[in-house]
Each structure stands twice: as structure tokens, then as C-alpha cells.
Amino acid sequence: MTIPPFKLEEFWKRYEFTAPYLLCCSDAESWTLQEILQLADLESKELWQSLNLGYTESPGHPILRKEIAKLYSQIDSSQVLTFAGAEEGIYCSMRTLIKPGDHVIVIDPCYQSLATLPESFGAGITRLVLDYKKGWRLQLHEVQKAFRSDTKLLVLNYPHNPTGAVLEKEVLEGLIELARKSGAYIFCDEVYRYLEIDEAKRVPAIADAYEKGVSLNVMTKSFGLAGLRIGWLATQDMDFLQKIGSYKLYTSICNSAPSEILALIALRARDRILQRNREIMLANLNILDGFMQRHQTLLSWVRPQSGTMAVLELLIPVSVEKFAEELVEKVGVLIMPGSVFDLPGNFFRLGFGKKNMIKALDLFEQFLQNYGK
């Protein structure tokens, strides 16, 4: 088994803690420990104050899993398994599901491990690349053509990273019908759920909608709590969940005790947390609208339908990699070239979930206006 370099994470390793302005972040504005503790209800506060720093239950704290299950309509706490972030959940899922010779369909671009892990484990991969000219919309007929009688898994990523596209309800229903006919699983990376620009466009979680659907979520993105390193899987397929739970005993074994209680506090205060994060995101998107209007000859985009990121096309005659490197070196603003996602064309990812986006965007605008002069 050979796993290729993780382009996105290598990119972050190089720049994340040195570049002054990260104008490509995909997570919402974070919270301080004190801010989260102030949101605690009486039970959560008592759990925090009496916390023992020993081992925790491998599936996750029972109260935390019960709170996570409330995010779904067809899932109870026994159908939730927690992890140390999303990546562990992806790894354990793909390691459990995939055998050499299996066929997997992956919607691209995506978080790299969603494609490279099943491929590294011996699966044959069909990548369906979303098209900018089609508004980054998933074409159901293309997925239908890709399905085979031996298709084991369909991998989705919605709300979509990095384009901000959403999945239409009719398309989701069509995908489930295709998967059901071949007995395939659907794994959906749903870490940007609850950040849809129009909340009416939010579709059901795949764990609710399909008996062989696996939903991945995390405290990192929509909730803005990356430092907790708490993620989870939800599925109605108990046999699959049990197998993943056994595999987790070879990885992290269990979660951090403080992180579990802080995640519980945040989930119980999720309406307040999401409201603040959405307010920042929507205000920044309005600013981006004006920015894009001013620079139509230099940049183009499909306006994102979910936060906290968009894909922009650089229209000036220079590679986006060269432009991005000069931008961070000269003014300290970091954007993420589309090549990190193996996205063809002169695209880059821009994030708009942070409070300091306005300052970063101002520096970016000055650099853009003076570029090449």
C-alpha cells in the first residue's frame, strides 16, 4: 500500500502558522475556551468541573453521542461513533469498506483522502470532476454512467469543498436510487452542513436518507472548533459501524476527555454558535459580492451556495501558483491554488468565514490592482 503526499495538508504545513492572513481557510471563526464554557448548561458545567483525565469510552461519551444523534432524524446514539477529527473517520471507514478490486465513484474536487485512500487500498476509482461552466453542479446522468454492477461505494462531499455548491434534493434522491440498485454504500462528507446560504436548500443527511448511507461530520468547520479534534460518523448500518469501531482500536482508541465535554457544551448551544458563525459568513459574502463586481475583468466565480469558501478563477495571464506565491511573500495573504485539489484551470480557493477577512481582502485587492505594474 502506497499513500501519496497529502497536497492540501502539506500546503497548510508550509504556510498555516507563518502567513499573517489566511484568506483560504475553510472553517468558521473559532471560539475561545472561556467563550465556550460560558455557554455551558448546568449538567455540562458539572461534567467539566468534575472531569477526570483518564481514558474515555471508545465509541465516545454516551451523553455526547446522544447529543450528536439529535442532529439527525433517523439516528439514535447507538448509531453514532466519534473520532479524533474527520480524518480518522475517513481512514477507518475506507479501510473497513474497501477491498482490492472494488469499484468506487468519487466526486471531484474533494478532500484528498476521500479519493486517495480507497485507491491506495486497492479500489478502482472513477473520478467525476465538477465543471465550472456548469456552475459546479453535479450531473446525475454522469453518475449514472459511472455506476457499475460491482460499484461498492459512492463518495460525496456536500455542502461542497472547495466550490460551495450544494446538492439538489432531486439529485440526492437519484443518487440513492442508483446506489440502492447496486447495493452500494454512500459516504458523504457533510462537515459544512448548517452553513448553506439559503437554509431551505439543505438536504437530508445521507445517514437519514439511505439505509447504507454514512454521514461524516466534525466540530471543526461549521462550529469553528477545530482544536477540539472531535468528529463522528452516523449510519443506520450497525454491522458497518461495529466493524469501524473495532478498527478504531488500532488508531486513536478513544477521544480526549476535555474535548468531549467541550463538544457537548457546544452542541447544546449549537443554535447560538451557528447563528454567530452564519452572521460572520453572510456579512463577509456581501463584501465579497462587491469585491467581485469591482474586478470582473480580473476574476470570475460561481457564487457559492454554502459557506465558508468559494472558488475563484484568475483571469490575468499568470499561473495561479505563481500569483499565490507572490501574494503571500509580498503582502502576507494566503490563497489556495486549485492544484492542491487537482482542479484543472487557473482557480484558487478563498475563504470568507473569518472576522479578519475584510483586512485580508483589502490587502489582496491592493495587490491585485497593482499586479504587473
**Average pLDDT of the residues in 205-218:** 98
State the residue for C-alpha cell 472531535: 230
Asked whether residue 2 is domain-assigned, the answer is no
Asked whether residue 259 is domain-assigned, the answer is yes
Same domain for 350 and 226: no
Same domain for 187 and 124: yes
Q: Which uninterrupted H or E stretch holds 91? A: helix 86-97
Same domain for 257 and 280: no
Q: Quote the pTM value.
A: 0.96
Does the pLDDT value for residue 53 go beyond 70?
yes
Residues 174-191 pLDDT 10s: 999 999 999 999 999 999
53 grid coordinates:
483525565
CB 212 within 8 A of CB 184: yes
Burial class (CB in 10 A: 0-12, 13-18, 19+), 74: middle
Same domain for 23 and 47: no
**Average pLDDT of the residues in 58-63:** 98
Query: CA 6 from chain center: how many Å?
Result: 15
Question: What's the Cα-to-Cα distance from 321 to each of 141, 211, 242, 370, rounded to whole Å?
Answer: 33, 43, 44, 18
Same domain for 207 and 58: yes
CB 62 within 8 A of CB 82: no
- The end-to-end CA distance of the chain, in Å, is 49
Pairing of strands 336-337, 151-157: unpaired
Return the sign of the alpha-carbon dihedral for residues 286, 287, 291, 293. positive
Q: Which one of 269, 284, 302 terminates a domain?
A: 269
- Which domain covers residue 14, as residue numbers? 7-32+271-370
Pairing of strands 124-129, 103-108: parallel
Q: Which one of 219, 249, 269 terminates a domain?
A: 269
Residues 324-336 pLDDT 10s: 999 999 999 999 9
Number of folded domains in the chain?
Answer: 2
Q: Which pLDDT does position 307 carry in this prediction?
A: 85
Pairing of strands 309-314, 347-351: antiparallel
Question: What's the Cα-to-Cα distance from 109 to each of 25, 157, 159, 213, rounded to whole Å?
Answer: 16, 9, 12, 20
Does the pLDDT value for residue 215 go beyond 70?
yes
Q: Which pLDDT does position 80 carry in this prediction?
A: 98
Percent of the chain with pLDDT over 90: 97
Asked whether residue 147 is domain-assigned, the answer is yes
Q: From CA 43, how far away is CA 33, in angstroms rounded?
A: 17
| Residue ranges with strand state E in the chain | 21-22, 80-83, 103-108, 124-129, 151-157, 185-189, 213-218, 231-235, 299-301, 309-314, 333-334, 336-337, 347-351
Q: From CA 220, how far away is CA 64, in angstroms rounded?
A: 16
Q: Mean pLDDT for the chain? A: 97
Same domain for 205 and 67: yes
Give the CA angle between residues 207, 168, 7 to the nearest 5°: 75
Q: Which one of 244, 269, 294 terminates a domain?
A: 269
What are the backbone dihedrals phi and psi of residue 59, each rounded to the nearest 5 degrees, phi first?
A: -70, -15
Same domain for 188 and 112: yes
Instruction: Please state the three-class secondary structure of 241-265 as a single string.
Output: HHHHHHHHCCCCCCCCHHHHHHHHH
What are the backbone dihedrals phi and psi of residue 251, each rounded to the nearest 5 degrees, phi first?
A: -115, -105
Residue 159 preceded by cis peptide, ω within 30: yes
Asked whether residue 1 is domain-assigned, the answer is no
Q: Which pLDDT does position 296 carry in this prediction?
A: 96
CATH number at residue 117: 3.40.640.10
Find the Cα–Cα–Cα–Cα dihedral 184, 185, 189, 194, rounded to 10°: 100
Does the pLDDT value for residue 373 go beyond 70?
no
CB 343 within 8 A of CB 312: no
